[in-house]
A and B are shown apart, each in its own frame.
Chain A
Amino acid sequence: MQKKPNAADGPVGDRIRVKRLSLGIRQADLAKAVGISAPYLNLIEHGRRRIAGRLLRDLAQALGVEPAHLTQSAETSVIAALRQAAVVPFAGAIQTEPAEQFAGRFPGWAALMIQAAEHGGALEQRVAALSDRVMHDPQLAEALHDVLDAVTAIRSTATILAEEQDIDPSWRNRFTRNVFEDATRLSNTAQGVVEYLRTGSAHAGSQAISDLDRVNVVMRQMGYDFQLLDEKGPSAVADLVNQADLQDHPAARQLLQAHLMQLAQDAVALPYQRLQGVTADAQSIMDFQAQHAVPWDRLMRRLAFAPARADAPMFGYVACDISGGFMPRKDTDLLQLPRAGAGCAMLPLYQSFLQPMRPLQMSIANISAPMQRIETLSFAAYEGPVRPGAPAQLRAHMLYWADHGAANADILHVGMSCRLCPAPDCPARRITSPLAGA
């Protein structure tokens, strides 16, 4: 009695066939070597006959491999990754057998598809991280639209290749070609996006989304190099403002002017020489502040915007008023902050409003880079006199820098904004995110 084809035999047959072809052995020759007919070997290779015992050992010997090589699910990780490539949360898992069959029969294409899917996943994360900018940047939006189209095509095609058992070979070839094309397109688009982001600052003035953003962009373009303020004090402000490409944006000019004036006053009150002993260490900064009784906001701005020196630690700085609205800031690669709108409510910056006039030291990590520990010092201070019955005006300031200690699981994770944050159970979540729980 003929045994029914067993799907579990399929991969074994596939591996025999793949190995035989890789060795350049004809089916008839292999069959003869192990004492069976070529048609019978053909049935084995196509999963229509079960194989075990002596015949398996003989075939393995003839192919120069261990029997386990033919029977073990050596491609478990490949299959799992392949299955992952074809899965989306609400579509459920695909059947195991077709994925194994596909991986066994087309190992190269399977690897390519996994790579493309992983690449797509990474790009999806990048899309999310950049979405804040995308919403206001048509050029980038178009590029990322292209990314999503390519990811869509790959996901859809990968699902077909992994799930469908009886695809005509011409269609299979067509789809694998499509995956290759889309993977190539993804790669090219990704490179284009990276290049755009790398060089985009040259054009960022025209792409800024608000006057505050314009000021931040201009300061970034200037490399936060305000040495002139240390040399000449407030008289240098006008020159620096004139250097900025803000002629058509009077409000942004005014904001930049006010910010630079603040920095100039900081420079006069706290010359950089006095900061020489301060290191990128919370205790060192707190000791300095206690010893010199320097206002916290001034100390933070000085450390962040002081003239660049090779040996100076890289500090980032951000401030906001009690509404959460940001002030001009110094960005670094460490922390992602939205260009517009509210930031992550978990930021120590906001937490400091709960304890005005007391420095708050907290270690955090970006949820997108959880292994990079970031040290922060925050301080919320009253602005102007506090009058009974009148709303108190506070501003919070946060200085942050890289901490080279390893982040642990207990560290506070912050995102860029709710919409773009994948944290599944964040108590501070305001709005749902398509990434939450991803």
Chain B
Amino acid sequence: MTDAQMDVGASRAPTAASQRSVLIIEDEANIIEALKFILSREGWQVFTHSNGHDAFDAIQRHQPDAVILDVMLPGRSGYDILRDLRAEPGLADLPVLMLTARGQSKDQDMAQSLGANLFMTKPFANAQILDALKQLVGG
């Protein structure tokens, strides 16, 4: 599933040629919808993808400025996708925010060792996501 910018009413941020884009790779439709809404309202161009099978292809296709990547995905885990990402020369530096429903330290350790820039456990606050993305790509 891939969506272009959604109509969520007036964006709070100016939409300019420099508009930042983010790809959400998450299999929970309602989480995707909420994230899309808040990010679009803040001026982000939001793409979404809901499975692990071809998530890597989606990243290559959209070339986003940042990726929000769930760990538990159908098909392939977020860890596997992150590992591929970091091995791909053109995408090795792409900022990645990992999401997981598990809060064990080993998950965080795993994410960090594979090169995740930030790690967040569910349930999170919308403001946390926005802050994290700003931290990753500025703006």
Contact = CB atoms under 8 A, between A and B. Distances in A.
Given A149-B101, A168-B8, A91 B125 contact: yes
A149 B125 contact: no
B123 A152 contact: yes
Contacts of B9: 166-168, 171
Contacts of B10: 166
A135 B38 CA distance: 33
Contacts of B122: 148-149, 151-152
Contacts of B37: 160, 171, 175
Interface stretch (B25-33, B50-58, B82-90): B25-33
Contacts of A90: 125, 127-128
A149 B28 contact: yes
A149 B128 CA distance: 16
A361 interface: no
Interface residues of B, number: 26
A434 interface: yes
A91 B34 contact: no
Contacts of A151: 122-123
Interface in A141-190: 141, 144-145, 148-149, 151-153, 155-157, 159-160, 164, 166-168, 171, 174-175, 178, 181-182
B126 A156 contact: yes
Contacts of A91: 125-128
A21 interface: no
Given A91-B125, A91-B128, A156-B35, A145 B28 contact: no
Interface residues of chain A: helix, strand, loop or mixed (majority): helix
17 contacts: A88-B123, A92-B127, A141-B102, A145-B72, A145-B102, A151-B122, A152-B28, A156-B38, A156-B124, A156-B125, A157-B33, A167-B8, A167-B9, A175-B34, A178-B30, A178-B33, A434-B103
Contact of A149 (B31, B38, B41, B126): B31
A155 B35 CA distance: 11
B18 interface: no
Nearest to B129: A156
B130 to A, nearest CB: 10
Contacts of A144: 101
Interface of B: 7-10, 28, 30-31, 33-35, 37-38, 41, 72, 101-104, 121-128
Contacts, number: 81
Contacts of A88: 123-125, 128
- Shortest 9 CB-CB contacts between residues of A and residues of B: A91-B125, A156-B34, A148-B101, A153-B30, A152-B123, A152-B122, A88-B125, A91-B127, A178-B30
Given A149-B101, A157-B34, A171 B8 contact: yes
A323 to B, nearest CB: 23
A156 B34 CA distance: 6
Given A152-B101, A434-B103, A159 B126 contact: yes
Contacts of A157: 30, 33-34
Nearest to B122: A152
A168 B37 CA distance: 11
B31 to A, nearest CB: 5
Contacts of A166: 9-10
Given A149-B101, A160-B38, A166-B9, 6 more contacts: A145-B72, A152-B31, A155-B125, A156-B123, A159-B125, A167-B9
B125 A148 contact: no
Nearest to B105: A431
A159 B127 CA distance: 10
Interface string A118-131: 00100010000000
